[in-house]
Amino acid sequence: MRVVVFDLDGTLVDSIGEILESFSATARAFGLPFEEAAVRALIGRPLRETFRRLYPGEDPDPLVAFYREHHLAHLGERARPYPGVERVLGELRAAGFPLAVATTKRTATARRLLLRVGLFSFFDHVQGTDGGMAPKPAPDVVVAAARAAGGRPGWMVGDTALDLRAGRAAGARVYAVTWGAGSPEALAALAPDRLEPTLDALPEALGLARAKGNG
């Protein structure tokens, strides 16, 4: 079975604002500068790596701990599925596609967010980078998500260059959506199989429109 694997933040769920606020709160708590553009460019990377890049010379562990506490305390307060996501996921489920999530978040946190925004039931498996799993752009989390959902990665759907590179490394085709953290220009430079402003074109990319048209 070819599994459709999705990134979470910025792809399925409009949660970038919550992520930025948690980074901003962390910076304020430790008396550090906060630059939104710099943080946006690093969304999707592991927290320790992100804080090391943002604040060289700072011990990242207290920053990571504060961020996680703040983020969990406010998880899902403002986040919502992007327009049309529930409809598209429903179409894919009805057509028999196995669906999975592959995210840099911890698995428990990702599941909690999906439950809060009403998307959890659409997925066969939710996979985070727990237990030392290599993060994107390594393919590990994409492959693990697809295997747990019963197959191999067929498509990787994401909003950052990390998602696209991980999908390609996993042997999947890649669908880039431009409503998340990644810039359209940066995504286009990687020549994804599909570059779209929303998920609306995903069923057609998977052949559903063609199949219906052929009766």
| Euclidean distance between CA atoms 132 and 212, whole angstroms | 43
Catalytic sites, residue numbers: 7, 9
Residue 136 neighbours by CB distance under 10 Å: 28
Q: Which of 114, 116, 118, 137 is closest to 126 using CA atoms?
A: 114
22 within 8 A of 70, measured Cβ to Cβ: yes
> What is the token pair recorded at 132?
């030392």
Cα 93 → chain centroid? 19
| Euclidean distance between CA atoms 177 and 202, whole angstroms | 10
Residue 30, phi then psi, degrees to nearest 5: -110, 10
180 within 8 A of 16, measured Cβ to Cβ: yes
| Euclidean distance between CA atoms 107 and 33, whole angstroms | 30
Find the angle CA(29)-CA(182)-CA(155) to the nearest 5 degrees: 125
Cα 63 → chain centroid? 22
Q: Which of 165, 171, 141 is closest to 153 using CA atoms?
A: 171
